[in-house]
Amino acid sequence: MRLTGGCNCGAVRYASEGPWRPVIACHCSQCRKTTGHHVAATSVPREALEITGEPRWFASSKNARRGFCPSCGSQLFWDGPGVNISVMAGTLDGPTGLVVKGHIFCADKGDYYEIGEGQRQAPRADPELTTQVV
């Protein structure tokens, strides 16, 4: 399934045939601080992602970096040393057919919102929900 997306101003675009992972919501403090709320992200094999334009990268930890548009500031990617690169689901174009599969780092979530029941909730990382960073 070919999906496309990009930043708010259009300076950075991306596309991939996938395979696309279901969307996972991350409630860790780092995701909340970089976006202003929790992150909802899918992922795709890094070698399958075509990026046009030049995202800027910020080393957010010793194991990962975050990619964003240097013009408009839209956060686009979370990239760790695993096989996949995470793509912020809100930056995808049009209908995607993707669904939220679960929530990680729920122990760190903000106190101003609730997570609805019916989806898997993990207090920290969960290898069944995400591609792990080694």
Does the pLDDT at position 29 exceed 60? yes
Evaluate whether residue 134 is within a structural domain: no
Evaluate whether residue 131 is within a structural domain: no
Evaluate whether residue 129 is within a structural domain: no
Which pLDDT score, from 0 to 100, does residue 129 have? 82
Evaluate whether residue 133 is within a structural domain: no
CATH code where residue 66 lies = 2.170.150.70
Task: Print the domain residue range for 89.
Answer: 3-121
For residue 104, count other CB atoms closer than 10 A to its CB. Answer: 23
> Pick from 93, 131, 100, 87: which is nearest to 2 by CA?
93
d(CA 36, CA 129): 22
Evaluate whether residue 36 is within a structural domain: yes
Domain tally for the chain?
1
Predicted confidence band at 133 (pLDDT cuts at 50, 70, 90)? very low
Does the pLDDT at position 132 exceed 90? no
Which pLDDT score, from 0 to 100, does residue 131 have? 62
Evaluate whether residue 126 is within a structural domain: no
The pTM of this model reads 0.93
Distance of CA 59 to the CA centre of its chain: 15
- pLDDT per position as a tens digit, 46-82: 999 999 999 999 999 999 999 999 999 999 999 987 8
Evaluate whether residue 130 is within a structural domain: no
Evaluate whether residue 88 is within a structural domain: yes
Per the structure block, which two tokens stand in for 84?
A: 């996949």
